[in-house]
Amino acid sequence: MRIHLTQVFVEDQEKALRFYTDTLGFVKKHDVPLGGEARWLTVVSPEAPEGTELLLEPSGHPAVKPYKSALVEDGIPAASFAVDDVQAEYERLRALDVHFTQQPLGMGGVTTAVFDDTCGNLIQIVHSE
C-alpha cells in the first residue's frame, strides 16, 4: 500500500497553484474543471512526477474553515514536505518573501521549519539526518 493522494484545503485554487508551483517548485499534474470555479487540481514533485499527488482542494465545505483555523491557531502544519536541506530551503523561500512561523529547528536528528502557504495553511519542511 502506498499513499497516492493527499490534500490541503485552499481558499483560492489559482493562487494556491501559483504558490505551490512558482514558489515551492511543484509541477501541475491534473487540472480538471468540476463545474463552477472548482477544479480537480493536483501538483507533484518534479523529482517524482508519478509519485504522490497533492490535491489543492477548495475550502468550500462548512467544516473546513473551523478545522483550518484551529490548526493554524495551534501551530499545527496541514502537510509536511521532505527537503534535502531545511536551512537552505528556508533561506531560498525567505528570499521569495515566504513567511515562516517556525525557523529551522533541530530535534534529535530531524530539522524542521514551518511556513504559511498564503492559502490558509501552515506547511512543515523536514529533513532527517
What is the C-alpha radius of gyration for the chain, rounded to an integer number of angstroms?
15
DSSP 19-46: IIIIIT--EEEEEEE-STT-EEEEEE-T
CATH number, domain of 72, equals 3.10.180.10
What is the enclosing helix (H) or strand (E) of 91?
A: helix 86-95
Q: Which amino acid appears at position 35 of this protein?
A: G
* pLDDT (0 to 100) of residue 56: 98
Over the stretch 7-16, which tens digit does the pLDDT of each residue have?
A: 999 999 999 9
Asked whether the beta carbons of 93 and 57 are under 8 A apart, the reply is no
Residue 106 forms beta bridges with which residues? 111
Structural domain boundaries enclosing 20: 5-128
Place of cell 485552499: 10
* pLDDT (0 to 100) of residue 79: 97
Number of domains present in the structure of the chain: 1
Over the stretch 95-107, which tens digit does the pLDDT of each residue have?
A: 999 999 999 999 9
* pLDDT (0 to 100) of residue 122: 98
Over the stretch 16-40, which tens digit does the pLDDT of each residue have?
A: 999 999 999 999 999 999 988 899 9
